[in-house]
């Protein structure tokens, strides 16, 4: 365990809360229906992911603007990287949350190449150790595939998890509506074809407050598939930016900080 001191249904009804409703043209609590089968993001959106490097440059120059956000009080937070990424990818977000006063942990398992029994056991052990150390449930933040892992951890151990944040994670709609399936299968050659029944069984949110953060400019995962179904403990927040740049997106940090400062027992009202 490593503490980071420095730093699909045919029709889905959901509620969207826009981080910047005026500039993005989405009103708060806008409801919409996903009536068509989602597909992987277009080539144009995929190529647009290169803008993440420009956003990273802005982060290096300006940071994530944490000084204007509500502070934490040492609450534990565990951050899980996306497929093909390591803790280095989530360092900007972890560092900003640390500066806000949270006790932030990376997953400390190297590059995320998918789940296996050993990795699952280590993740469960880490969650339990952090919860025991702090004497309170842990907030989980998962970028992309890491968000899928975070939801399943919360589903299996709801008493150890205070809330879940997913960042551009494929949690709804169609398990293949993304641009990384081929690469994922390359690193997981024994993986059977997608079990759609199992995928659909994982669509309902775990029994803890869950916030899905998504962007319509996502070039990796279909943005329609990155949202939670509407419910008393679920919240969907739209931000601007790329999929790759979500861990250093100031709007993402603001959405997370605001909700971490709430009482988790009240849910995402």
Predicted local distance difference test score (pLDDT) of residue 32: 41
CA nearest 33: which of 12, 10, 16, 8? 12
CA nearest 160: which of 185, 136, 134? 136
Quote the CA–CA distance of 147 and 167 in Å, as a whole number. 7
Predicted local distance difference test score (pLDDT) of residue 126: 98
Euclidean distance between the first and the last CA atom of the chain, given in angstroms as a whole number: 33
Predicted local distance difference test score (pLDDT) of residue 209: 97
Q: Where are the domains of the chain?
A: 40-262
Predicted local distance difference test score (pLDDT) of residue 121: 96
pLDDT in tens, the chain (269 residues): 545 544 433 233 334 444 433 223 233 334 444 446 777 888 888 888 888 888 878 788 777 877 789 999 999 999 999 999 999 999 999 999 999 999 999 999 999 998 889 999 999 999 999 999 999 999 999 999 999 999 999 999 999 999 999 999 999 987 777 878 766 777 777 767 667 777 787 889 999 999 999 999 999 999 999 999 999 999 999 999 999 999 999 999 999 999 999 855 434 44
What secondary structure, in 3-state letters, does 78-118 show? EEECCCCCCHHHHHHHHHHHHHCCCEEEECCCCCCCCCCHH
Quote the CA–CA distance of 21 and 43 in Å, as a whole number. 26
Decide which of 3.30.360.10, 3.30.420.10, 3.30.470.20, 3.40.50.1820 is the CATH code for 40-262: 3.40.50.1820
């Amino acid at each position: 365990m490593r503490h980071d001191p420095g730093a699909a249904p045919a029709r889905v009804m959901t509620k969207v809360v826009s981080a910047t409703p005026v500039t993005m043209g989405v009103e708060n609590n806008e409801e919409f229906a996903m009536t068509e089968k989602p597909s992987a993001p277009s080539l144009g959106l995929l190529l647009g992911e290169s803008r993440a490097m420009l956003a990273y440059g802005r982060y290096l120059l300006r940071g994530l603007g944490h000084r204007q956000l509500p502070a934490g009080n040492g609450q534990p937070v565990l951050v899980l990287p996306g497929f093909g990424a390591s803790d280095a990818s989530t360092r900007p977000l972890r560092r900003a949350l640390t500066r806000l006063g949270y006790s932030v942990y990376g997953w400390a398992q190297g590059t995320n190449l998918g789940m296996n029994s050993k990795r699952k056991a280590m993740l469960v052990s880490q969650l339990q150790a952090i919860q025991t150390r702090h004497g309170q449930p842990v907030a989980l933040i998962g970028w992309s595939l890491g968000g899928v892992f975070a939801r399943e951890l919360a589903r299996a151990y709801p008493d150890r998890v205070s809330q879940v944040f997913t960042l551009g994670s494929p949690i709804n709609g169609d398990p293949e509506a993304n641009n990384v399936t081929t690469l994922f299968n390359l690193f997981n050659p024994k993986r059977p074809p997608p079990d759609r029944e199992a995928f659909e069984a994982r669509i309902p949110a775990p029994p803890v407050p869950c916030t899905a953060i998504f962007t319509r400019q996502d070039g990796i995962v279909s943005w329609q598939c990155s949202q939670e179904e509407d419910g008393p403990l679920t919240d969907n927040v739209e931000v601007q930016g790329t999929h790759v740049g979500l861990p250093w997106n100031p709007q993402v940090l603001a959405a997370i900080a605001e909700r971490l400062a709430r009482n988790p027992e009240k849910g995402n009202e």
